[in-house]
A and B are shown apart, each in its own frame.
Chain A
Amino acid sequence: MTARMLDKRMSAGDIVAQLSDGMTIGIGGWGPRRKPMALVREILRSDLKDLTVVAYGGADVGMLCAAGKVRKLVFAFVSLDAIPLEPWFRKARESGALEVLELDEGMFQWGLKAAAFGLPFLPTRVGLGTDLAELGGLKTVQSPYDDAETLIAMPALKLDAALIHVNRSDWRGNVQVFGPDIYYDEWFARAAAKSFVSCEELVDRMEDHYPDNAAANVFERCFVSGVVEMPCGAHPSSMPPHYGWDMKAFKAYADSARDPGDWDAVKDRFVGATEAEYLANIGGKEAVTGLPLPIF
């Protein structure tokens, strides 16, 4: 007799159905890299609203802001690298529509770590001497030791849910993450009450397919609540080693923010009615996997 096997497979729609209005949602990746864009598009197809989004932002943040899904944004930057200023994010900021907490990149990951460890805050020097603490309402603490140093108490960035795109997963949520840099995806996973993972490749049992790559299991399956196979799910962001970013797509997206810059008029091009339609519109899987890895 065999024991019941854990099976966390879901559809993208099932994942979004697990989210609710007003939630704090962390989005993995970094700028135009490793973004769970297929799950973001699924949110854009839904009625979800009033979200607090926590992200090292790229087009994920820009699109969610453009669509009016974001009540509050926790960020250190929003950028598409070669297009430094994310135009839809700029529009949202300059309209005054967003509540924000602006953080240094290092403080941001420190806040995720505080949340992961169940701590109210972690101390840091970062933020002292700048406007961040005052603008963000960040408080200080004093070291109880002889040094008596005053430090910023970086509050935990507790997430109701995290969305992450990985290279591989199995049905149980054993992920494998490749590429030169995994950014802070593992800390998004640990900082969240529930993490949902989309992947380029889904297998039933990781140990039967890729046992030699277990070192790429950068966060453990206890931090994964649901998995969905979504090849090309990071497009137009990069997903090494499978594909690079689609700068042409980013450029079209950025250009569409200019006058009148009406998201409702252009969203079909960048979201699509379904993920299959989106993928077909951009030329299918072959077009995405043919995108060269970016050179710096």
Chain B
Amino acid sequence: MSNSTLVDLCIVACSEAFRDNGEIVATGVGPVPRLAAGLAKLTHTPELMMTDGEAYLVEQPVPLGPRKYDDRKPAGHLPFSRFFDSAVWSGRRHAMVTPTQLDRFGQINLSYMGGTYQKPKTQMLGVRGFPGNTIYHPNSFFFPAHGPRVFVPEVDMISGVGYNPSKRTPGGNFSAVDLRVIVTNLCVMDFAGPENAIRVVSLHPGVTFDEVQAATGFELAQAGTMTETAMPSTEALEVIAALDPHNIRASVIKDNPPAVRAA
């Protein structure tokens, strides 16, 4: 649809990360990844599992925003108290998240920036479950504002495993490290460049590779044929609107621009 917003285009691009993933828990943290997981389940990959964001497994993705507490219909139970047993350490999960920094090796940071471990300049959340997520199951990323402060040469604190050869502890089993897709407000990237280098796969309408490179703190590879990111279908837009009745997604990308830039 030519009148789509950029955020809807990003949601559709993110949902492709979950295509044909099978019976695994699709976790989308934040409005765009969560809508993307819901869209994937309601369209191309119904076998996906997901939670209501709290502790219950639902077969009907839970819409964003205010609703009645009991509007969800639990089909199963996956509390944090079982999460490592059943989803993370079993590898039966694909998470899409937005860390504070991501570097050329796909290493991520959400712990602290600047200063030292003893005295950080800016303390953030802490590593949460990212060290386990990244060594045990597939992960993808969404960034609403592609820029050099997000895409840095090397992260300040390695909170998630990437493809950095110098961090491969000898004898360690890194076979499940599986970074899949990065979707931003400018493009879609993957890790299929030389030695898992981050590679631009498709550019959103009107975006150039040079623009993406200029907004990235390290050198990017290019796919053999970079395409234009697909526009959302009418069906996808209807599903997204139903999952986001309060239009929370409109506040994700600055000024909520259209998918096709004004000429």
Contacts and interface: CB of A to CB of B under 8 A. Distances in A.
B168 interface: yes
Contact of B130 (A90, A104, A180, A181): A104
A125 B120 contact: no
B160 interface: yes
Interface in A78-120: 78-79, 84-85, 89-90, 93-96, 99-100, 102-107, 109-110
A94 B170 contact: no
A75 interface: yes
Contacts of A292: 69
A148 interface: yes
B125 A77 contact: yes
A106 B132 contact: yes
A195 to B, nearest CB: 17
A79 B125 contact: yes
A106 B125 contact: no
B120 A94 contact: yes
Contacts of B128: 76-77, 104-105
Contact of A129 (B62, B118, B135): B135
A263 to B, nearest CB: 17
Contacts of A89: 123
B161 A128 contact: yes
A105 B124 CA distance: 15
Interface in B125-165: 125-132, 134-136, 157-162, 164
A85 B124 contact: yes
Interface stretch (A3-11, A44-52, A130-138, A202-210): A130-138
A19 interface: no
Interface string A276-296: 000000000000000011111
Chain B binding surface, main DSSP class: loop
Given A149-B173, A150-B171, A182-B79, A131 B157 contact: yes
Contacts of B120: 93-94
Nearest to B155: A131
Contact of B117 (A57, A126, A135, A181): A135
Given A77-B128, A109-B84, A130-B127, A296 B52 contact: yes
Contacts of B52: 296
Given A104-B127, A107-B132, A292-B69, A95 B119 contact: yes
A104 B136 CA distance: 13
Contacts of A183: 79-81
Given A94-B120, A109-B84, A149 B172 contact: yes
B66 interface: yes
Contacts of A213: none
9 contacts: A96-B119, A125-B136, A126-B132, A128-B135, A129-B131, A131-B157, A182-B79, A295-B66, A295-B68
Given A104-B129, A184-B80, 4 more contacts: A110-B84, A129-B162, A130-B167, A181-B54
**Considering the complex of A and B, which 6 residue pairs feature the smallest CB-CB distances, nearest first?**
A296-B53, A150-B171, A96-B119, A129-B161, A181-B79, A180-B55
Interface of B: 52-56, 62, 66-69, 77, 79-81, 84, 88-89, 107, 111-112, 115, 117-132, 134-136, 157-162, 164, 167-174, 177
